[in-house]
Amino acid sequence: MARLRVGVLISGRGTNLQALIDASADPAAPAEVALVISSQGDAQGLARARAAGIRSEIINYRAFNAKQGFEASLDAALRGGRIDLVCLAGFMRILTPWFVERWRDRLINIHPSLLPAFKGLDTHARVLDSGARFSGCTVHFVRAEMDEGPIIVQAVAPVMPGDTPDTLAARVLGLEHRCYPLAVHLIAEGRVRVQNERVEILNATVANAIMINPLG
């Protein structure tokens, strides 16, 4: 059976990209990272793609006068690479409804909070300011509205006494590196179905929710 071909869109370090690359290194994995596209030429994630022998492209948003041209180039590159599923991994551009609908239910994102709480930027500082006792991350299908869409996988981490935005971010990032490959794996196995803007996991177990114990 052919493996699901994954395209990853990045803008920076690419640590979630690396998690996806590592997960697909096993030939038995149901998905493979087939293409990496960066919106910036100096993104560190490009070196990760090259080291893994994965085709990469730079489509610099600054080279376009309007989002339409930028997104048309993204779309053409993804389709030219025969991509089945697109993963946003630190991709720092807001996509228009045109692009989102072109890839509806084949475009996923990871956000460092338990959506629908704490959408947007400065997530970890806002979690701490709110007094919340738990945080985490969410993998979801992308919709036109920011950080909206059917939830596929979530992971929960406690907020610890003395946490700073940086320490909380590091704890959540470790969860992201587990959640994103899991979500891609479930999709590649054909176990994810969107019904009425809710995700159904076929043959679901607790494996599609992750919790960690910070004490051991």
Q: Per-residue pLDDT tens for 168-214?
A: 999 999 999 999 999 999 999 999 999 999 999 998 654 444 444 33
Residue ranges of domains in the chain, CATH in brackets:
1-103 (3.40.50.170), 110-216 (3.40.50.170)
Task: Write down the pLDDT at residue 204.
Answer: 66
pLDDT value, residue 216: 30
The whole-chain average pLDDT of the chain stands at 93
Told to judge if 111 belongs to the known catalytic residues of this protein, a careful annotator would answer yes
Task: Average the pLDDT over 115-143 and give the result.
Answer: 97
**Contact (CB, 8 A) for 52 and 33:** yes
Predicted confidence (pLDDT) at residue 117 exceeds the cutoff of 80 = yes
Tell me the pLDDT tens digit for each residue of 49-87.
999 999 999 999 999 999 999 999 999 999 999 999 999
Q: Looking at residue 205, what is its pLDDT? A: 58
Q: What is the pLDDT of residue 203?
A: 81
38-49 residue pLDDT tens: 999 999 999 999
**Active-site hit among 111, 124, 177, 185:** 111
Instruction: Using DSSP, state whether 35 is helix, strand or coil.
Output: strand
What is the arithmetic mean of pLDDT over 8-32? 96
Residues contacting residue 153 through CB under 8 Å, at least 6 positions apart = 138, 139, 179, 182, 183, 186, 208, 209, 210
